[in-house]
Amino acid sequence: MRLHDFRGGVHPPSQKHLSAGRPIESLPLPSRLYIPLQQHAGAPALPVVAVGQQVGKGELLARAQGATSAPLHAPSSGRIAAIGEFTAPHASGLPLPTIILDTDGEERWAERESLPDPFELSPEEVARRVGAAGIVGMGGANFPAAVKLSKARQAGVHTLVINGAECEPYVTCDDQLMRERAGEIADGIAIMLHALQASHAVVAIENNKPEAVEAMSDACRHDARIEVLSLPSRYPAGSAKQLIQLLTGLETPAGGRGTDTGLLVHNVGTAYAAHRALRHDRPLITRIVTVSGGAVPEPRNLEVPIGALAADLLAYCGGVSDERARLLMGGPMMGQPLPGPQVPVIKGTNGILALTPDEIGEASEPSPCIRCGRCVEACPMGLLPLELSKRARGEDWEGIQALGLNDCMSCGSCAYVCPSHIPLPQYFAYARDMLAAQRREEQKARRTRELMEQRQARFERQERAKAEAAAQRRAAKKPRTAVLEADED
């Protein structure tokens, strides 16, 4: 496959040397795990356990609610301590409905079933089992993997793209996963090809990960359908749309999906999770997380139970120095600022970063735009970031949508190159929040109108029913009156 190019992008300092090559270690099991019911793109999962109930490792805790929801399973054995609210892994610090599990240290698995050869199953059954295992996109999108597999097969996708680019600075969990568990990933790719009924797979890895490229090439050598490609290092090459453009030269249509180009993108961690689910009946209850940053004494790549606190990971890596200026979940470009370390790891968590003031740079006050055009050059989606921000400041919601706000992927490239330090992504986030609030108000108003119309229709039916009943009573009286008159005669 010949490589192409995509517009824009930036080259932030990678800082991957802090954790690259550090073997994956298992985090010691915390005494308490906090499992949010919202760890995926759809509706929150619905609990199927009760407070005080004993559960085994891998046992179902909450079932999917709706087509794009995903189930949750116990990361360890123990007792359900509470079902309530706990701080979300989000800058807002708002609470989320959460299942709290007190672990018993026994790591006792719930009853598992013996599995058939996945290649003897129908594609639909493979996708169903991927969904039942609670697997979502491990690159951070958190969209249920089974839905993507099913929809892509129905759309006739011919190529599966396994995203091993990992272009965010600091984060090395995918790199280390490919170095250490390439065989399992290759098997997961083959299983996903079967689910898609696709003929070709491409494993795309940035060229700053030569060990991962070599490991994956060796693991995939015996399957002619799988090709391993080394990509130039440039952020955000790991974004699905940019990755598709690199591999094919095709741009995903505005408002469209990658499958419109005939390709489906999944993360290497998702392929690994599919292998564990279809070969070993293991639901998604752990993930690999990079703990790094200048304020972390011992950066590491850790295999972590879902629901462990960021504080647990940081403590295992030597704590956090007093120089910590910012705590992030994810990478420094698209990661989520955290209100503190008392937030849980979820399925989409690929990094916990504690950064120093030197790493985040001095907080400069925004100054007027100098019309240099760097934000336009850097935008990988070909948008006009400054114009978008002007529409946001002016609350011109129709105008900002017309300029392509929905195509912005919040990569932060525009802000990274801006010499005036204008917080462009924050304006876009504000606009999205306001548009979402506007849609909610419109939905509320529409629902209110529907209820009023239903109420009016109900009153009208009642009035008609009363009128009809009165007419029937009058009709019933007439024969009786006639009989009486006849008797009098």
> Binding site membership for [4Fe-4S] cluster: which residues?
369, 372, 375, 379, 408, 411, 414, 418
End-to-end CA gap in the chain: 107
- What tokens appear for 258 in the block? 């990658």
Q: What is the DSSP letter of 309?
A: B
- Count Cβ atoms within 10 A of the Cβ of residue 379 and give its class: 0-12 exposed, 13-18 middle, 19 or more buried: buried
Residue of 372, 391, 373 whose CA lies nearest to 382: 373
The string over 271-302, giving b where at least 16 C-beta atoms fall within 10 Å of a residue's C-beta and e elsewhere, is bbbbbbbbeebbbbbbbbbbbbbbbbeebbbb
The three-point CA angle 201-180-327 to 5° equals: 95
Enter the DSSP assignment of 30: P
Backbone torsions φ then ψ of 366, nearest 5 degrees: -60, 145
Return all residues near 227 (Cβ < 8 A) that are at least 6 apart. 1, 200, 201, 202, 203, 220
**Residue 133 DSSP code:** T
Under DSSP, the state recorded for 17 is: G
How far apart are alpha carbons 275 and 162 in whole angstroms?
A: 14
Residues in the chain: 489
DSSP state, residue 466: H
Rounded-to-integer distance, Cα 92 and Cα 251, Å: 34
Known binding positions: 369, 372, 375, 379, 408, 411, 414, 418
| Residue in this structure with the two tokens 């080394």, named with its chain if needed | 230
d(CA 330, CA 139): 10
Q: What's the CA gap between 173 and 292, in Å, rounded?
A: 11
Q: CA separation (Å) from 56 to 49, 78, 100, 105, 225? A: 12, 7, 14, 11, 39
